[in-house]
Amino acid sequence: MGDDKLQKARRARLRSQFRALLKLLFSLRYPLLITLTVTLVLLLQNHHVHQREAENSSIRLNIPRIPMKIDYHNYEQMQHDLERVGPGEQGKPATLSPEESESELRKTLYFQNGFNALLSDKISINRSVADLRHARCRQLKYIKQLPSASIIVPFYDEHWTTLLRTVYSVLNRSPRSILKEIILVDDGSTKLFLKQQLDEYIKDHLTDQVQIIRLPERNGLIKARLEGAKIAKGDVLIFLDSHVEASTNWLPPLLEPIALDNRTCTCPFIDIIKDDSFEFIPQDEGARGAFDWNMLYKRLPLRPEDLNDPVKPFPSPVMAGGLFAINADFFWKLGGYDEGLEIWGAEQYELSFKIWMCGGRMLDVPCSRVGHIYRSYSPFPNAKTYDFVARNHKRVAEVWMDEFKQFVYDKDRIKYAIDAGDLSKMKRLRKTLMCKSFRWFMEEVAPDLMDWYPPVEPDDFASGTIQSLAKLGLCFEVNNNMIPKQIVLVPCAVNKTVPERNEQYFRFSWRRDIRAMHSTNCVDVSHHFSGAELQLFECHNMQGNQLFQYDVNTKQIYVGKDATYCLDADPIKRKVVLNQCSITNDLQRWQIGQINLEHLQNWKQHGAKLKE
């Protein structure tokens, strides 16, 4: 009311001054000058009044202004991290002594955890990490009024130091003004140190921001996340795995897109913490999440518009699943996770499809990076006697994938004959939210998915054994006892077309990679130089270090897009290595069990959808 009275007084004063001015003007002798002056005064007065009214209207309507942005970097913490010394500091590789490496304790802990837990115990739980962000990320500011975040970390029989390193990395590298809490959810762990000892450690050494809840028995990842989300008090829910390390300034870039649009879900870039050395390695500079029709998580290349700015968040069809942020109200509006999903598996597809099809969007955020230990194998037995993953996939397919579900079922009709349970609640939710069709998702969100992952894949170029023509008795074989798995040369199987040993059975797929048969692993060359050895890693379908070409004329296997390096047999060490290509070197000549000559000679045509 006070502001209204003030404005009225100002307008009255203006009118009084205007009348006085008119009286003066009419006393003058020049009518034209009088007219022009009056017109000018009227225009100025009208402009002044409109400007005032616009300002008042802006105040009354509460039109938002451009939000203020601030620098969230904790430079004191960053400097402290740079000054730290010790095993694994700054994300560098750590090692054990030769005696420790060969000890039974190391082997036992590795078997129990799927990573080098003894080495983890030699590394500080407060260690510094590698800053793998793009250089421009270090100059970015984020809006001052960011929503508060609840960090939810489910765990089951997690190793002591990796769990605590997860907690400390979040506490050390998150602004306290926006970190609401860290909720640890014990999913029925059996290790004694995760009970009273952990409770006492939290009470004695950590802040009140860290709390733990315990489930009486193992329920699985999905239900553990839901239990943590139910008690969370933050505006945003952030789900993390229990063996991760948050990197520098990871939280603000993850929260800003949600602050600007609360129907946005964001995912950090996930870097690799090597399971044997705890070294930080950048996974890559980004790719879009996807899936194939076996319902395995895959990736799609970035679109041209995503490549224009390497620090800008970009849309991704599917989340990796373990690490993401979502507005709490939006999460519950979407029904959280389908409570019919069991243990783990398919939850990232269900939530990703719901987000996109029901009015939201999902972004990968390059300036938010979190390191993650990828176990060499899963050390925990399944809690169910039936195929709960297939059941989960069928629930998602039935509710969300419409007619496209048939592509999933056609991959394994016997597996998907399983009963998916009662779906009425989830189908009712989809109808209530008026969600779009899965065809819309495929056409608008992931239009190139069919190009990269067709429901029926083209025939392989070749398959069977890969036999040295210089040493006819030796063939490729996967050595599963080495970490990481490596390709070695061993005596060939009798049947070269369909070898008796799966470890010698390879296929040159239409993607121009070399795949271990009945596996999701591909032959991989991490470094291109003479002497580099072949290893086996998860097929990423992005070519790069998994791109190979077979020349039917020279019998050489080229590495990459040109003929610079070829696969070379080392019969003494019984290994396969890289060497510069030479048509006179018989050790570079290989025979494959069976070859589709027409298909292989036209591999460029069949690979036209892929990057050249």
DSSP letter for each residue of 560-579: SSSSSEEEEEETTTTEEEEE
**What pLDDT is attached to residue 607?**
44
**What pLDDT is attached to residue 609?**
41
The yes-or-no verdict on residue 100 having pLDDT over 70 is yes
C-alpha 220: how far from chain center: 21
**What pLDDT is attached to residue 343?**
87
27 pLDDT tier (thresholds 50, 70, 90):
low
CB contact at 8 A, 149 and 238: yes
**What pLDDT is attached to residue 59?**
39
Choose among 536, 542, 562: nearest CA to 551.
562
Give residue-wise pLDDT tens across range 140-186: 999 999 999 999 999 999 999 999 999 999 999 999 999 999 999 99
**What pLDDT is attached to residue 193?**
96
- pTM (2 d.p.): 0.79
What is the pLDDT averaged over residues 437-464?
A: 93
The yes-or-no verdict on residue 234 having pLDDT over 90 is yes
Q: Specify the range with the lowest mean pLDDT, choosing from 83-97, 160-174, 284-298.
A: 284-298
The yes-or-no verdict on residue 605 having pLDDT over 90 is no
Mean pLDDT over the full length of the chain: 87
CB contact at 8 A, 324 and 267: yes
Q: Specify the range with the lowest mean pLDDT, choosing from 70-79, 439-448, 472-481.
A: 472-481
**What pLDDT is attached to residue 538?**
83
Give the N- to C-terminal CA distance of the chain in Å, as an integer. 69
534 pLDDT tier (thresholds 50, 70, 90):
confident
Distance between CA 351 and CA 267 in Å, rounded? 13
Choose among 593, 420, 603, 381: nearest CA to 497.
593
Report CA torsion sign: 227, 231, 237, 243.
negative
17 pLDDT tier (thresholds 50, 70, 90):
low
The yes-or-no verdict on residue 603 having pLDDT over 60 is no
**What pLDDT is attached to residue 222?**
94
Count of CB atoms situated within 10 Å of the CB of 197: 12
Distance between CA 132 and CA 151 in Å, rounded? 22
Distance between CA 476 and CA 50 in Å, rounded? 82
Choose among 259, 256, 264, 260: nearest CA to 368.
256
Which two three-digit tokens encode residue 435? 């969600």
Distance between CA 62 and CA 165 in Å, rounded? 45
Q: Which residue has the higher pLDDT, 539 or 242?
A: 242
**What pLDDT is attached to residue 16?**
63
What is the pLDDT averaged over residues 236-261?
A: 97
Choose among 477, 483, 556: nearest CA to 523.
477
Q: What percent of the chain has pLDDT over 90?
A: 68
Distance between CA 503 and CA 408 in Å, rounded? 27
**What pLDDT is attached to residue 46?**
53
What is the pLDDT averaged over residues 503-508?
A: 93
CB contact at 8 A, 77 and 115: no
Q: Specify the range with the lowest mean pLDDT, choosing from 22-36, 358-372, 442-456.
A: 22-36
What is the pLDDT averaged over residues 332-340?
A: 95
58 pLDDT tier (thresholds 50, 70, 90):
very low
What is the pLDDT averaged over residues 441-447?
A: 97
Which two three-digit tokens encode residue 383? 């809690």
54 pLDDT tier (thresholds 50, 70, 90):
very low
Backbone φ and ψ of 377, nearest 5°: -165, 165
Q: Specify the range with the lowest mean pLDDT, choosing from 162-166, 384-388, 472-476, 592-596.
A: 384-388
**What pLDDT is attached to residue 611?**
39
Choose among 233, 411, 538, 195: nearest CA to 401.
411
Give residue-wise pLDDT tens across range 546-575: 899 898 889 999 998 877 899 999 988 899
Highest mean pLDDT among 24-28, 61-65, 357-361: 357-361
What is the pLDDT averaged over residues 187-210?
A: 94
